[in-house]
Amino acid sequence: MPILTLESVRKEYGLEPLFEEVTFALEANEKAGVIGPNGSGKTTLLRIIAGVEPPDSGIVRIERDRTVGYLSQDPLYDPEATVLQAVFEGGGEVLSRVRDYEEACRALEQAGGGDEALLRRVTDLAHQLDISNGWDLEADAKAILDRLGVVDTAARMGTLSGGQRKRVALARTLLLRPDLLILDEPTNHLDADTIAWLEEWLSRYTGGLLLVTHDRYFLDRVTNRMLEIEQGRVNRFVGNYTAYLEMRAQRDELRDAENRTRENLARRELAWLRRGAKARTTKQKARVDRAHALLETEGPAETRMLELSAASTRLGNKVIEVEGISKAFGDRILITDFTFRLRKGERWGIIGPNGTGKTTFVEILAGRQHPDRGTVERGETVALAYYDQEGRELDPGLRAIDAVKEVAEWVKTADGDLITAGQMLERFLFTPDEQYTYVGKLSGGERRRLDLLRLLMGAPNVLILDEPTNNFDIPTLVALEDYLDGFGGCLVVVSHDRYFLDRTVDQLLVFGEGGTVRSFPGSYTAYVEDRERREKEAAAAERERAGARSGGKGSAGQGAGKSTSQVGSRTSAGPSGPPVGATAPLSWKEQKELERLEKEIEEGEARKTAIGEALAEAGADFSLAGPLYAEMRELEATLAAHLERWEALAERA
């Protein structure tokens, strides 16, 4: 039975509907990602489902006795409440007990442990938590707060930054463990490691999930359904983000084919009409009517895609040279004696936990801040553009096209063409009507897109982007990544978006606590794999040391009757097998496994071909295509595992 049902939901803003006839259901175990361009109504749809905002018409039904948890982009908060109070607010009786217990323990600690009344209250609350099994909830709460970086639970909410308040609100939402979890951009203000933890947490979460995020890795790994808002309608796709892209590409191909067929028919009918045929007979009149109908029929609406194209100026060999810089704010050390060379054509990503100095460093590169010690030199040919987190304040009474004309009336594109400011705005998805919209009436995403356009119009050859993915929708990010593919200058990106980093940079600066900065020559995914490998090696070495210590104590008895080399040597042959490092021949069982794997791999490849043909026949029928895509992904995973095992056995054979 669906946990959530929408029937013919409609919402209007101004004269035009934001969306209409939205009908879909979400099962209790489904995890759906909601995607669409900025301004398409993603956040509004979540607010309507959460009960924060009413629809203009239609029905939103949540199954009886089911709880809903909602994380908005800008959560409300009481500035006087402590973090602990905010986290446990409205979470039911057991969560309230956990909050009271934590507050009583803190008060007892501050009193030095000698307050008898506080001691009795702590004891009484501990007993109540025993009875209600509240200790598991307390442990869960502390683990979530710790992983989200919420350390000072006594701090007042009004003293926290926007990112910190968002993390507190996220902790509270997760702690509620509702039957339906609604998250609007939960990954904003989280570092990459925390995003990976949240990914894992949601993967284990057993309730229904509705999620809006621009993080494509996150969508791919967490969701099993996609809801696409397109031109006021919601299209439902089975599978994760990758499956959605596959089905979307197939749908667009079918649309293109339909358009070509319709246009060819119209051309043939027009040619017939222009030959002067007289519509005297019924058959001829029907043909004339059909030709006019074809001419008047609109094909499937095309999705507007952002086109980024701007020239860059020539860059000399000297770009930016940073020598021995240090930076601190009070007792907080961000950078210590750091030297860095940004060379021509290099692309650097900057990662690390929040508060470790990433933004401060790029502000120093851009000349907006100065180091406490050390020097920063820029080459004479450097034309630097810095896209910061806040964006430049534009006159709200200025129209969008005038904001662009302030930079240039004409723009030279990467192809060498000259286009007008209006044409450039159209490439950035501002329609001719929207170009005359006042800046003050643009959405946050539209203003940031305008900021980016103005920057690129300056033809920079060094581009610094600080968290560019926070304000852009996925289509804008895809277009920006394509633009950066062809960008001939230097690139420095601060981002927690793992996908964006993988697409745009090939070297990393990793910022850590206490002013440490180290470089890594590779992509973000390569960095994570290298870190995990090192952690495993360190853990294995520690286990080996622990085994050696425990083995040394009992070696005298265990080694009786054997030589010292037989007991202690790692390369000596034992009674159960060949020397370590030698290759053992295949056993009869392994030989049979190798033969079986060869057969199953052959059958699997044949099935892959058959699924591909079935997908082509399914066309736009997503009820047929969805299960086929699911089978294809499962088959590919099985084949990968089979091939890995086959290679290991075949090498030994």
Q: Which residue has the higher pLDDT, 424 or 285?
A: 424
pLDDT above 70 for 56: yes
Q: What is the pLDDT of residue 255?
A: 74
Q: Give 119-184 as a 3 state SS string.
A: HHHHHHHHHHHHHCCHHHHHHHHHHHHHHCCCCCCCCEHHHCCHHHHHHHHHHHHHHHCCCEEEEE
- Poorest-pLDDT segment among 64-73, 159-168, 627-636: 627-636
pLDDT above 80 for 171: yes
Q: What is the pLDDT of residue 555?
A: 42
Q: What is the pLDDT of residue 89?
A: 77
- How do residues 307-323 score in pLDDT, each as one tens digit? 666 566 778 889 999 99
Q: What is the pTM of this model?
A: 0.69
Q: How confident is the model at residue 291 (pLDDT cuts 50, 70, 90)?
A: low
- How do residues 558-614 score in pLDDT, each as one tens digit? 443 333 333 333 333 333 333 334 456 677 777 888 888 888 888 887 887 787 777
Q: What is the mean pLDDT of residues 230-237?
A: 88
**Burial call 123-162: b when 16+ CB within 10 Å, e when fewer:** eebeebbeeeebeebbeebeebbebbbbeebebbbeebee
Q: What is the pLDDT of residue 582?
A: 44
**Burial call 422-446: b when 16+ CB within 10 Å, e when fewer:** bebbbbbbbeeebbeeebeebeebb
Q: What is the pLDDT of residue 557?
A: 41
pLDDT above 70 for 259: yes
Q: Domains plus CATH for the chain?
A: 245-296 (no CATH), 320-527 (3.40.50.300), 585-652 (1.10.287.380)
pLDDT above 60 for 552: no
Q: What is the pLDDT of residue 296?
A: 54
Q: What are phi and psi of 160, to 5 degrees?
A: -85, 155
- How do residues 462-496 score in pLDDT, each as one tens digit? 999 999 888 788 888 888 888 888 888 999 999 99
pLDDT above 50 for 556: no
Q: What is the mean pLDDT of residues 120-132?
A: 77
